[in-house]
Every structure is written in structure tokens, then in C-alpha cells.
Amino acid sequence: MGDKTMTAEEVVSRLASGMTLGIGGWGSRRKPMALVRALLRSGIGDLTVVSYGGPDVGMLAAAGRIRKLVTAFVTLDSVPLEPHYRAARERGGFELTEVDEGMFQWGLRAAAQRLPFLPVRAGIGSDVMRVNPELRTVTSPYADGETFTAMPALRLDAALVHVNRADRLGNGQCLGPDPYFDDLFCEAADAAYVSCERIVDTAELTKAAAPQSLLLKRLAVTGVVEAPEGAHFTSCAPEYGRDEEFQRLYTATPWPEFTGRFLGGDEAGYRTAVREWRKGRER
């Protein structure tokens, strides 16, 4: 127990090159972008990234920080294929393991339960097995004798996720319509770091909200970072939607230019640069 609050920079100081890093959220929704930006400001690289990918993957790939990516997709939702990811993939910037969405979930679940694999029907009879020849199948020991994909555990050295609210002990609350699989990312990791829109007292987490919204348990969380608008430019419902205009700017801007304009300083500098860009559009 105890106070687990820290800064984004303190989180990154606990990470290291060569780690397997899980990043929560889904596509361009509720991604821990403040933590990703802090990671980009560091020299950490050679990462194995495990993610239902969005701009987190696109940025880390463009910056050359990824050695291997494990994913089911990399999308910006309103932009079907993340363009910076695509460019990095086309130039052979990293190794890719691409699996079915359900297989990905089962890999996280196996890791969370400390199992080496879990059987899943997804993948059987599809090209997933062809493009991932290292995958194996397993036959039911019972009378039916059905064959399943043996999805290996996606064990993580560390996980980064973003939620609406959290307390100082590490309990996290999701107030949006979809929790995605952030709880599994945390439980599958040796260390889990949670950014949130607002840190509140523990008693506030149970006020005017369904108990099911208490997504993250303190036992699975290592550190908590208060990061208002920490998912920008992705969505964090019901706090804010995806910043579609800024996302379009991101997709249309060459990576070195985008980095120089928005990622050259700290998180406060990023917010200032975004505000200045927005004011410039209003003139």
C-alpha cells in the first residue's frame, strides 16, 4: 500500500532499453500519450511493444524505438492505418508479430494468470497460423478432441495505461463506455504505471459510479501519474473526444517536423504548442 504517485519522468526512469512494454487503450482511444511522450523524450529504445496499436505505436516506430511489435492492428480509428507506423514498417524498421484481436486478449489473460498459454479458437483455419509459424496448436484431452490455437502468454516487463480517475494507492476508474483491456495489461506486467485525468480520494471512486467502473486494483499497479488531458490527441470519454483536427495534422506532418514542433520540450511545452497551434487556426 502507501502513496504511489509519481511523475511521468519518474515512470520513465524505471524503464530500460530492451524491455517488453505493454501499452493500453485501443487504436486512438484512451492511450497513455503523456507517458508515451515522456518515453520519447528519453533515450530508451530496442523495445518489444505489445499494444492494440494507435499513435503510441506510430510515434515510437517513427522514432526508431521499437525492435519488435506484437499487435492485432495499428489504427487511428478515423484513419484506418496509422501512417507513421506504415512508413516505419515499409522500411523494415522492426519485427512484427500480428495476431487476431481475440488471440491478443488471450495472450494477455494467460500472462495475467501466470499461465504459459491459453487455448483459443481464433486463428484456426486462418492465415494467422501461416504468417506466425512459431504458433502451435493443442488438442483437447477430453472426448471431443477439438484442436485449438495455443496462444502464448504476452508477459510484460512494464505496462502503461490511462484512466479517468485514480487514487494514490493505485486503484483506477474507467468512466467511459469501454474498459478495453487495461486491467489485463496491468496484471500481465511486472510493473504497471497508470496515468489519469485526476487523482481523487479513495472514497470518491465509489460515488455516483457503478462498481464495475473500478477497473484497476491497487495490487496490480506500481505507480500513478496525474496527467490532465494525458490521452490527447486520443479520446478519453467522457472527459473529451478524439482531437480529430490535431490527429489530421499528425498524420499529414513528416515525423521530424512534428517532433520539432510538438515534442521538443516537456509535457507543459507540448500543451503550450498545441494551444498555440489551435490559436493560429482560429485567426
User: Residue 208's pLDDT is what?
Assistant: 63
The full set of domains in the chain, from first to last, is 8-100+154-243 (3.40.1080.10)
Strand partners, 152: 117
Neighbour-count burial of 207, counting CB atoms closer than 10 A to its CB (0-12 exposed, 13-18 middle, 19+ buried): exposed
| Mean pLDDT calculated for residue range 235-253 | 98
Which residue from 67, 25, 32, 62 is spatially nearest to 49, judged by alpha carbons? Answer: 67
User: Residue 58's pLDDT is what?
Assistant: 98
Look at strands 214-216 and 172-173 and give their pairing: antiparallel
The DSSP call for residue 84 is H
Look at strands 147-152 and 136-139 and give their pairing: antiparallel
The pLDDT of residue 132 is above 90: yes
Long-range CB contacts for residues 266-271, cutoff 8 Å, separation at least 24: 266/41, 267/8, 267/34, 267/37, 267/38, 267/227, 270/37, 271/229
Question: CB within 8 A of 271, min separation 6: which ones?
Answer: 229
Cell of 13: 526512469
The pLDDT of residue 1 is above 80: no
The pLDDT of residue 87 is above 80: yes
Tell me how far CA of residue 17 lies from CA of 21, 44, 48, 248, in angstroms.
10, 5, 9, 31
| Mean pLDDT calculated for residue range 114-138 | 95
pLDDT in tens, 36-53: 999 999 999 999 999 999
User: Residue 282's pLDDT is what?
Assistant: 78
pLDDT in tens, 216-238: 999 999 999 999 999 999 999 99
pLDDT in tens, 136-164: 999 999 989 999 999 999 999 999 999 99
